[in-house]
Amino acid sequence: MSDLITDYEKHLRRLDRSPKTVAFYTRVLRQADRDLPMGLCSATTEELEDWLFTPSPNRRGGPQRGKTTRSHYSRILRGFGKWATDPKRPRLAVQELLGHSDIGMTRRYVETNRDRMAAAVASLPVAV
C-alpha cells in the first residue's frame, strides 16, 4: 500500500500542490493505512468513519479529532480513493497485481477491494 501512497504523493506534486500540503496528505494517508485493520485499500465505510472519530494518540488538548480535522481527513481520503479507483486508470489494480502468481484469483480480489474502496470513500460525508 505504501507504494500506492507514494504514487499519490508524486501525483500531488505533478499537480503542483504545496510541499506542506503534499506532506500533510501523505502523513494522513499513511496513518490511516497503519491504523485500519486491513489497511486503507480494504477499508469499509464504517472502518473509515470509526478511524475519523477515533482519538489520535498525537492529539493535544483533547481525545477526539475536531470537526475541521475530520472534514480535512475525509476530503483527503475521498481524493485518494477517487484517484486510486479511477476506472480509466485503476492504480489500485496495478499495484496489487504485481508480484502475484495466480493473476486470475488476484484480479478478482483486487476488483472486489477496488470496488469496496471506491464505495467506502464515496460514502464518506463531506463534513463530519
Give me the pLDDT at residue 98, please: 41
Burial 39-62 (b: 16+ CB within 10 A, else e): bbbbbbbebbbebbeeeeeeeeee
Domain membership of residue 31 (yes or no) is yes
Overall pTM > 0.75 = no
Q: What is the pLDDT of residues 38-89, one digit of tens each?
A: 888 778 888 888 888 887 665 555 567 778 888 888 889 888 888 887 777 7
Q: Which three cell numbers stand for residue 11?
A: 501525483
Domain count of the fold of the chain = 1
Q: Please indicate whether residue 97 or residue 16 has the higher confidence score (pLDDT).
A: 16
Residue 24 lies in a domain: yes
Residue 83 domain-assigned (yes or no): yes
- Give 96's pLDDT tier (boundaries 50, 70, 90): very low
Residue 128, domain member (yes or no):
no
pLDDT tens digits, residue range 6-20? 999 999 999 999 999
110 lies in a domain? yes
User: Could you list the residue range(s) of the whole structural domain that residue 17 is in?
Assistant: 2-123
Specify the pLDDT at position 59.
55
Asked if the structure places residue 91 within a domain, the reply is yes
CA-based max dimension of the chain: 50
- CA–CA gap between residue 73 and residue 1 (Å, rounded): 18
- Give pLDDT, residue 2: 63
Q: For 107-126, what is each residue's pLDDT tens digit?
A: 454 455 656 666 676 666 65
Contact 6, 86 (CB under 8 A): no
